[in-house]
Amino acid sequence: MRLTVTDIPERFPTHVANGRAMSVHSRVMNIALNTNAGAVVTIDARRGAPLSPGTARLNAPDGMDFSRLVRPGAGLAMRAGILRVQGADLTFDFRNAVSTKWSDGPRWPRMDRSTLEAGWIETWLLFVDAAETSGFTAALLDGALSGGFDRALAHRVRTALPRLMRAAADTNFPDSWSSLRSLLGIGPGLTPSGDDFATGFFLGLGFSARSPRQQTFLRDLTRATLAQAHDSTDVSRACFEHAAAGRFSTPLTTLVEGIATHADNLPARLADALAMGHSSGRDAAFGTLCGLAVTEPELRTRVIDALDITYLHEKPTR
């Protein structure tokens, strides 16, 4: 079976490269190519898949299932724009794919703080209503966690995240890094919840960080995370590299733009972000909302209160 790739990341090697399949799912697989850049690429065959840094999109038959065709660890060989998978009747044709150029960072709209606050609150209420028991959003639920793992994860988030929010608001790097580091690499998923959260947090904080001091703080925090990423998965490391360069998935940047302008279609924008992966979208959106709230005292208090287990028993009406 030959599949035609439509979009590829910038500087993707299409001539000669070898590598291996990493994780394999029904419509998504992650591959590592042993180029000088050490490329980690997500091949995404989902219909209408979002544009994301480090992702190659393609057209595939509805019944195609990567997990039935490719075993994790299978060897890969790229020659003249054709990628072949060892031991599988499957090739990828990259020859006519369009290379997507990512800018050094999102181009944000001019921020009106009252509009941002209104958009954030609407999105936050929608997000809390959509919270689930897997991933970091478990920390927003009370009395609905039956598994020991979910309870332990929620406890870690409830303990570390308020500290992170307060320390980041003060641009206190040691305390912020200590709190964020305790969240990295934990939780379910190929990219653990903590890593997805951190990616979203960098996006939100990058939007709200306006002063030179805040921007320097964010740069130091992303660099520390990238240096620590050797303890995480290959895919997470690639995501952190993109985040450090200001590159984020389109559903997340579209969500932030919608919040900043209090767009009419915020529910749809949030739904698109939540749909990324099994729990990755929820965790990344959570991080984005938290990052946006860091520099806004009222919004920051809403997040911290929502994580207070005693406050959860007596939620105020909207």
Per-residue pLDDT of the chain (318 residues; tens, 9 = 90+): 899 988 887 767 767 888 889 888 888 888 888 764 457 788 888 877 777 777 888 888 888 999 899 998 899 998 888 999 998 889 999 888 887 766 555 555 566 788 889 999 999 999 999 888 778 988 988 666 667 787 888 899 999 999 999 999 999 999 999 999 999 988 876 678 899 999 999 999 998 887 899 989 999 999 999 887 666 666 677 778 788 777 888 889 999 999 999 999 999 999 999 988 777 889 999 999 999 999 999 999 999 999 986 444 444 444
**Planar angle of CA 185, 133, 22, nearest 5 degrees:** 40
Domains and CATH numbers, the chain: 2-100 (2.40.50), 113-312 (no CATH)
Give the predicted TM-score (pTM) of the model: 0.78
The first and second tokens of residue 252, run together, are 């997340």
- Kindly state the tokens that stand for 96: 């006519």
Q: Left if phi > 0, otherwise alpha if psi is -120 to 50, otherwise beta: which for 66?
A: alpha
Phi, psi for 4 (deg, rounded to 5): -95, 120
Question: Which DSSP string do the residues of 266-288 spell out, in sequence order?
Answer: HHHHHHHHHTSTTTHHHHHHHHH
Question: What DSSP element (H or E) covers 93?
Answer: strand 91-93
Give the CA-trace dihedral at 151, 152, 153, 157, to 10 degrees: 100
Binning the chain into helix, strand and coil, the percentages to the nearest 5 are: 50, 15, 35
Give every CB contact of residue 252 below 8 A, 6+ residues apart in sequence: 200, 203, 273, 284, 285, 288
How many Å apart are CA 61 and CA 43, to the nearest integer? 15
Both tokens of 142, joined, read: 């009370």
Tell me the C-alpha distance between 87 and 69, whole Å: 9
Distance of CA 250 to the CA centre of its chain: 10
